[in-house]
Structure formats: C-alpha cells, structure tokens
Amino acid sequence: MNSRREFLSNTTKAGLVMGLVGTGILTSSCAVAKGTQSGIFLTGFAQTPLAYDFTALQPTIDAMTMEIHYTKHAAAYASNLASAATEEKVDISKPLENVLANISKYSVKMRNNGGGHYNHELFWNIMSPNAGGKPEGKLAEAITSSFGSYEAFVTQFENAAKTRFGSGWAWLIVTADKKLVVSSTPNQDNPLMDLAEVKGTPILGIDVWEHAYYLNYQNRRPDYVTAFWKVINWSKVSDRFVAAI
Ligand code: MN3
C-alpha cells in the first residue's frame, strides 16, 4: 500500500489511474482514492482497502465495530454514491471533491452518500495502530498559534464532538485563508460542501454517529471522544495540513 501511494503521489500518474478507473479498466479502489493532485488529497468514488486489520485499533475501537462500520455502513455509502453518480451523470474519473464543492446542485442522495463516503475515507486514513501522541512540526506550530495551545485545541475539538446533537462529525479544518478551525457538521455533511456553515479542507475528523462507538461505549460518547486521541495518526494529519496550506 505504501509504495502504491507513493506511486500515486505523482500527479500525472494519479490522473492516469483515476481515468482508468473511470473507464472500468481498473476497479481497485486502492488505486484511485489517495493520490495527490494540485497539492491536495483527492478522493475517488470507491472504498479504499483498510490499511490495518479490524482488530488493529483495539481497545479504542473494537474489532466488530470496525468490521461493521467499514464493510456495512461505509460500503453502503460508497455503493449508494455510485448509484447516485450514475443517475446524475457524474464523471467518476474526476475527484469526489468536485461534487462536494457544488453539492447544493445535486440530490439529497448524493449529499448523504457523497459526504458519507468522503468522510469515512478520511476517517480510516487518519487513524492507525500504535498511534496517538501529539502533532509535530508545522502542524504543531499552527495548532498553538490558532488555539493558544495543544490542550486548548483538544478541549475545543472534544466539545465539538461531544455536543454535536444527533449524528454527525467534528472536524479540524484549514479555511480558505489558511487558518486552523474546529467545526462540526450534521449527518454526513462536511466542510467541503458549499452549503456547510463553516467551510474548509478537513485534515482530521471524528465520526460521532452511534454506529461508530455504540457496541463498546453505548451512550458514553464522551468516553469514545476522549479515547480517539490514542488512534490518531498525526503524521497523516500533518500531510493533509501541509497539502492544504
Ligand atoms: Mn460512520
């Protein structure tokens, strides 16, 4: 996977592979979903294989939750997104981000499933086993300058995640003027959408739908949110930050 991703970091080749996927010649979602183009992370329309086992994030996220979340919930978003793309004649050789930026022009089905697919692709990517710790380098500096301290950022992010009413996501985003901001969105909306209250490029996100934590935490969403820091892959978040600024 790593060498595959490095291969895809070449802009021209990533474009070529995405084009091939669009024609149906390549169907591996691994090949399409995580390239870089124009300095930003791009998302394809198919699920990327998980880079770790369902058991890998235990005890923070239990194996059954991971398996059901990835193979049922997230798979359904990808499948329904594919059907919405066919119905609405979306060119799936182009990044999903293009659709999200203009989501108000599409159906509710596209909004829910395009957002759902994008959000989960990001979520799997910014977590890993043996993770946690704190951000380093430019990201650490930007967090301190934007929030006052790392601890202040943690508090703000946790509050956004804990207080999102019903289902949704909390985010750390880079705004158009390159500032770091914490926000949250309902349902499967995200900050890339033209109808988002707070817009920007997400570099970190937590799924606070009950399906993301209920088997292990039941009603204790705050415990899940607090434990989430143990599985964040800051190196990936940092890559996204650098690509977004
Ligand atoms: Mn989910």
Residues linked to residue 226 through DSSP beta bridges, in sequence order: none
Give the model's pLDDT for residue 1: 37
Q: Helix or strand or coil: residue 189?
A: coil
Distance (Å) from CA 185 to ligand 1 centroid:
13
Distance (Å) from CA 221 to ligand 1 centroid:
14
How many structural domains is the chain composed of? 1
Distance (Å) from CA 90 to ligand 1 centroid:
24
Determine which helix (DSSP H) or strand (DSSP E) holds 183, and give its type and residue range: strand 180-186
Q: Examine residue 31 and state whether it is found in any structural domain, yes or no.
A: no
Q: Examine residue 25 and state whether it is found in any structural domain, yes or no.
A: no
**Class of residue 194 by CB neighbours under 10 A (exposed 0-12, middle 13-18, buried 19+):** exposed
Q: Examine residue 49 and state whether it is found in any structural domain, yes or no.
A: no
Distance (Å) from CA 113 to ligand 1 centroid:
11
Distance (Å) from CA 73 to ligand 1 centroid:
6
Distance (Å) from CA 124 to ligand 1 centroid:
10
Distance (Å) from CA 14 to ligand 1 centroid:
27
Distance of CA 207 to the CA centre of its chain: 9
Return the ∠ at Cα 104 (arms to 96 and 237), rounded to 5°. Answer: 40
Q: Examine residue 219 and state whether it is found in any structural domain, yes or no.
A: yes
Distance (Å) from CA 211 to ligand 1 centroid:
6
Whole-structure pTM value: 0.84
Q: Examine residue 53 and state whether it is found in any structural domain, yes or no.
A: no
Q: Which domain holds residue 143?
A: 61-245
Distance (Å) from CA 74 to ligand 1 centroid:
6
Q: What is the mean pLDDT of residues 99-103?
A: 98
CA distances from residue 178 to 16, 105, 123, 146, 212 in whole angstroms, order as listed: 30, 26, 22, 10, 30
pLDDT in tens, 59-69: 999 999 999 99
Q: Read off φ and ψ for residue 172, nearest 5 degrees.
A: -110, 120
Taking the CB of residue 75, how many other CB atoms lie within 10 A of it? 15
pLDDT in tens, 191-241: 999 999 999 999 999 999 999 999 999 999 999 999 999 999 999 999 999
Predicted confidence (pLDDT) at residue 128 exceeds the cutoff of 50: yes
Q: What is the mean pLDDT of residues 92-101?
A: 96
Q: Examine residue 81 and state whether it is found in any structural domain, yes or no.
A: yes
Distance (Å) from CA 195 to ligand 1 centroid:
21
Q: Examine residue 166 and state whether it is found in any structural domain, yes or no.
A: yes
Distance (Å) from CA 161 to ligand 1 centroid:
13
Distance (Å) from CA 49 to ligand 1 centroid:
16
Q: Examine residue 154 and state whether it is found in any structural domain, yes or no.
A: yes
